[in-house]
Each structure stands twice: as C-alpha cells, then as structure tokens.
Structure 1
C-alpha cells in the first residue's frame, strides 16, 4: 500500500512523536511518504520531527510552491492508495483538494489529535479519534465513518544500569540529592497546561524537604512561571528535553495538571517508566486511568491537585498494565480503517 501522511507543524511534541512512530512502523511493510513544511524546527527549543523519522520513510518538504502546491502535486493522479492527515493545517488543505476533485478516488482520512472542527475535516472520508471524548463531540454524519484508535507507548529499552545512570546524571546536573523524591511534569509551557496551578498546588501541599518538582519543557509562559520561583521551593525548570521518554528514569512520580489533554501521551510514557501518577480527570486521561480513579483529580482545582501531590509523595514505583496501548495493534487497526474506504 502507498500511504501519504501530511503534517504541517514546526515543533516536536506528542503529535509529531505519534506521526514519527506510526510512519516508521508502517514503512516496514508499506511504501510511506511524509509531507512536511520546508522548515520543521521549533525556533525556541530546536525540536524537529525530521530528526525522528525512520530512514525507510520518504520525506518530502514543501518548496517554492508552498505546502498546498506540493500536496496537490503529490495527490494529483491518485498515485497514493490513501492520504492520512494530522492536525488542522494539513487537514484543511487536503480536504480542500478532495472537495475540488483533485484527488481522484484516493480516500482522505485524518487523525484527530485535538477537537473536531468541520472546517478542518469536513472534506475527509474518515476520521480516527484517539480518545472517547472526541467521539462524543463528533457530528452525527460521522457515526459510520470514524474509529477509536488510541495512541500507544513504546517500552523503554533501557536496562536497570542505564536507568540508574540517567537518574544519577540528571540529578547531578540539576543539584538534586540522589536520595530525593522527585516529581516531574512535562509539556509546553502554555496556559492550557496549567503549570501556574501546579506551582500553587505545590506550595500549598507543603511536602517534605526531600521532595522536588521538575518541570521539563519550554514555552512562552516560562519567564512568567519562573518569576515567583525561589530555591527554597525546590522547583527546577529543566527546559526542553531531547531524550524523552528515557528521562523519566530520573524521577519518582509524575503529575499532569492540564485543563484537558486530548490524549495524554506524556502520561502514558510516565506510566511505562513505572512511575506513580496524578492527572486531571479530563480528556484522554479518563481513558488511560479510568480503572484507577484514585489517580485522578478535578481539573482547575488547586486544593484537589495539592491533595493529589501529597498522595503521590506516598507512592512507590508501579507496574501498569499497558497492553492495550501497543503500537503494532494500533497500526493494524489503522490499516483496517484505511481498507474501509479503498
């Protein structure tokens, strides 16, 4: 099968990791092409999906014709069996070409990495939801043309000795005692992640002095968040990490404070590393932790999050059942979904 994936972003976050891992797996048995923007590096962090694409995947970058022009050239004539879009910008363009009749009989499907928007996906043949809340938000016309296929996590390849090295090295770099209990969070420092609420909850929780909070990530809110930070608060702004999810080996717990995560891939990665977790009860976290309600707290509630941090401090390493978040199985379901429209 010849598959064209379309993504128009300039960063490397959860969606980009999803695309990199899915295309790499599909390229084992299919002819896979990925259309990207001419520049894909995040100007702030340097994160770039191009550094994570498997060699078997053909990368095409937008040129002087722009992304739409290059997409039209690739789609014209039906040389691909299926076109698979990710996020709004690429989806709007592919949908417009579909409506204009420039794609022939080639089906266009999209993965919803955020909320459904008719302007982005109205021209698509099928939609993949990654969480149940997205299914609930779909208009009725999509009832027979969508599927629920969640994200996945790839188990860490680090052995016990390697994990110990990651743990020791990270703590030395940031002047954290080796025997401290370290809670981490990870994501772009933007308002919807509610790191401001997390910092308030951290101070309110008044955890023991051997407990540290590490924020991994960068973004426009960083300077504002750091402004009220003092050393005595035991809060570390570690910046953008290029070795996620391996870096989770350095920590003892994970907290997710977002108002709502579309899926919560970072939560899944923390669980794969054996960390106890605390997450807001909204979005994809409800799917992931539906059988572990004690790990969930009300969104946008500083008291609930503070109590969650205190509970997290009492936890030890855990073994989570993540068998339903297997890449091979989700890739198989995706291929089955393609065949519904061929």
Structure 2
C-alpha cells in the first residue's frame, strides 16, 4: 500500500513521536511518504521530528509557496493509495482542498490527536479516535466511519544495566538523598497540563524531607512555574529532554495533573516503566486507567492532588498489563482501517 502521512508542525511532542513510530513500522511492508513543512524545528526546544524518522520513510518538504500547494500536488499526484493527516493544520488544508474539488480521488483519513472540529475533519472519509471521549463527541456521520485505536508505548530500547546507570547518574545530578523518593511529571509546560496546581499541591502536601518533584519539559509557562517554585530545592526542573522515556528509570512514581489529556502517552510510558501512577480523570486517561480507579483523582482539585502525592510517596513499583498498548496491535488496526476506504 502507498501511504501518505501529512503533518504541519514545528515541535516534537506526543503527536510527532506517534507519527514517527507509526510510519516506521508501516515502512517495513508499505511504501510510506511523509509531507512536512519546510522547517520543522521547534524554535523553543530545538526538537525536530526529522531526527526520529525511519530512513525507509520518504520525506517531502513543502516549498517556498507553503504547505497547501505541496499538499494539493501530493493529493492529485496518483502516487498514494491513502492519505492520513495529523493535527489541525494539515487536516484543515486537506478538508479545504476536498471541499474545493482540488484533492483528486484518493481517500483521506485523519487521526484525532485532540478534539474534533468540523472545519478540520468534516470532509475526511474516516477518523481514527485515540480515546473513547473523542468518538462519543463525533457527529453521527463521522462516528459511523470512525475507529477507536489507542496510542501505544514501546518497551525500553536500552538494557536494564543502562537504565540502572542512568537512574544512578540522574539521582546524583539531582542530589537525591539516600532513600529519597522521586515523583516525576513530564509534558509541554502549557496551561492545560496544570503544572501550576501541581506545584501548589506539592507545597501543601507536607511530604517527607527527602522526597523530590522532578518536572521534565519546557514551554511558555516554564518561567512562571519556576517562579512559583522559587526557594524550593525539592522541586527540580530538567528542561526539555531527548532521553524520554528512558529517563523514567530515575523516578519512583509519576503524576499527571492535566485539566485535559487527549490520550495520555506519557502516562503509558510511566506504566511501561513499572511506576505507580496518579492521574486526573480527564480525557483519554480514563480509558488507560479504567481498571485502576484507585489511581485516578478529580481534575483541577488541589486536595485531590495533595492526596495523590501522599499516596505516591509511599507506593511500591507496580506491574501493569500493557498488551493492548503495543504498536504492532495498533498498526494492524490502522491498516485494516485504511482498507475500508480503498
């Protein structure tokens, strides 16, 4: 099958990692092309999907005229059997071209990495939902041509010895005392991740002196968050890291305080690492922890986060069943979904 993925982005976060991994496994048995912007480097973090792509994936860059003409050319080229868009910018352009009769006859599908918007996805033939809340909010017509295919996590590529060495090195760098508990949080530092409330809960939870909160990531709110944590050596900011999810080996527990999580990939990665977790019952997190309600807390609740932190401080490693969140399972379902429209 000749597959064209379309993504217009200038950052490297969960969606970009999702697409890099999906296109890599598809390229083992299919002809896979990825249409990207001319420049894909995040100006804040330097993150770039280009460095994570499989060599077998053909990359096409938009030219000086922009993404829309490049996408129109690919849609009408006859070189692709299916077109798969990701995120709003690429998806909205594909929808516009279809409504304008400028997209040719190739089937176009999209993965909903966030919320459904008619402007972006209303002209697509089919939609992949990564969480049940998305499918429940689709208009009836789109729901009939949708599929629920969760994201996945990939088992650590490094050896146990390498992860143990990373754990020792990072805890030494962070000056974690002997017997100290490290609770981690990670993500783009934006309002919906609610890291500000997490810092407030941490200050009031009255945890043991050796317990530390390590916050991984960067974003527009980082300065304000560091200001809120000023004078608290027990709150550590690592900045943007390229060694996730291996870095999770340095943690003893993990917390997700988001107001809303479309899916919750970093939560899956923490569970893959065998960490006890606490997450707000928001979005896709409710699917992931449907069988572990003890790990869920109310969204946007200071008291709930405080209680979650106290529980994590005394928690032990936990073995999670990750079988339904394997990339091979998801890739097979995506391929079957494509075939519905050919």
Report the TM-score, using the length of structure 1 for normalisation: 0.98
- How far apart, in 1, do the equivalents of 2:318 and 2:158 lie? 17
> Are the counterparts in 2 of residues 203 and 233 from structure 1 also a CA contact under 8 Å?
no
- How far apart, in 2, do the equivalents of 1:104 and 1:256 lie? 43
Residue 50 of structure 2 corresponds to 50
Report the TM-score, using the length of structure 2 for normalisation: 0.98
Residue 155 of structure 1 corresponds to 155
- How far apart, in 1, do the equivalents of 2:313 and 2:227 lie? 26
Residue 320 of structure 2 corresponds to 320
Match of 2:177, SS state, is coil
- Deviations, residues 194-232 of structure 1 (Å, cap 9, x unaligned): 001000111111110110000000111111111132444
- How far apart, in 2, do the equivalents of 1:228 and 1:270 lie? 26
Residue 311 of structure 1 corresponds to 311
Q: Gaps spanning 5+ residues in structure 1: where?
A: none
- How far apart, in 2, do the equivalents of 1:159 and 1:295 lie? 28
Aligned ranges for residues 222-233 of structure 1 at < 5 Å? 222-233=222-233
Match of 1:133, SS state, is helix
- How far apart, in 1, do the equivalents of 2:227 and 2:210 lie? 23
> Are the counterparts in 1 of residues 187 and 218 from structure 2 also a CA contact under 8 Å?
yes
The RMSD of aligned alpha carbons is 1.1
Residue 337 of structure 1 corresponds to 337
- How far apart, in 2, do the equivalents of 1:177 and 1:45 lie? 30
- Deviations, residues 297-324 of structure 1 (Å, cap 9, x unaligned): 0000000110011011111111100100
> Are the counterparts in 2 of residues 216 and 240 from structure 1 also a CA contact under 8 Å?
yes
- How far apart, in 1, do the equivalents of 2:183 and 2:196 lie? 16
Q: Which moved more, 1:91-100 or 1:305-314?
A: 91-100
- Deviations, residues 90-145 of structure 1 (Å, cap 9, x unaligned): 00111122223333321000000000000000110000000000011101111320
Moved over 3 A (4+): 230-233
Match of 1:143, SS state, is helix
- How far apart, in 1, do the equivalents of 2:86 and 2:252 lie? 33
Match of 2:144, SS state, is coil
- How far apart, in 2, do the equivalents of 1:32 and 1:311 lie? 45
Per-residue deviation, 1:178: 5.1
- How far apart, in 2, do the equivalents of 1:254 and 1:139 lie? 35
Match of 1:220, SS state, is coil
Is the aligned partner of 1:41 residue 2:44? Answer: no
Residue 106 of structure 2 corresponds to 106
Residue 220 of structure 2 corresponds to 220
Q: Gaps spanning 5+ residues in structure 2: where?
A: none
Residue 8 of structure 2 corresponds to 8
- Deviations, residues 163-199 of structure 1 (Å, cap 9, x unaligned): 1111111122222235321000001111110001000
> Are the counterparts in 2 of residues 78 and 103 from structure 1 also a CA contact under 8 Å?
no
